[in-house]
Amino acid sequence: MFNYPLSLSFKILALNPQVSVTDASGNLVLYIKQRAFALKEDVKIFADQAQTRQLYQLRADRIIDWSATYNISTADGQPLGKVRRKGARSIFKATYNIVDAAGSEVGVIREESFLIRLADWLVGGLLGGYLFHPAYLVELRGRPVLYLKKQPAFFEGRFKLEKRGEFSEGEEGLLLTSVIMTLMLERLRG
């Protein structure tokens, strides 16, 4: 289990989207790299910035789509589950369903406020990144377990992930990868 809260930092000017995740002690615990210019989303999650130890892989089931499903697996290809964007429902307020390896819906990621994201997107640039902070609540079996919120930042995207409830170590992998995929998709929307 990780030492929460986790801090997620996006490099804004990177050709390939990259995210560094540090724990409450400031230690790098995850490094995420997304393939640039891919027709299908393909995200790899590593334990280190040198990318020597891959932990997870997330792949879209189809080319760009509002209702895409993102398959989550371990580095050796073992399925962990899926995260699904709720197409039309996510236009105004992002909603993602978390599905376990057996195909059962076990959780949901919901954006708290469409208006905050809209204001962040409309103002944009340096000022928007410092003034408006979209947030997402993550539920597991109807209980809030994680809370993701954008943090003030001028030259990078910064988010804080707080633990709000209990979950097992096995569930943590599915929850974190689902949050990361949601963030990779939603960060461009605000």
What DSSP string describes 85-132?
E-TGGGTTS-EEEEEETTS-EEEEEEES-HHHHHHHHHH-HHHHHHH-
Class of domain 6-189: mainly beta
CB 56 within 8 A of CB 71: no
User: Domain extents for the chain?
Assistant: 6-189
Per-residue pLDDT of 93-141, as tens digits, reads 789 999 999 999 999 999 988 676 666 666 665 555 566 678 999 999 9
Per-residue pLDDT of 30-68, as tens digits, reads 999 887 766 678 899 999 999 999 999 999 887 766 678
Beta strands at 54-60 and 69-74: parallel, antiparallel or unpaired: antiparallel
How much is the pTM? 0.87
> For the chain, how big is the Rg over CA atoms in Å?
15
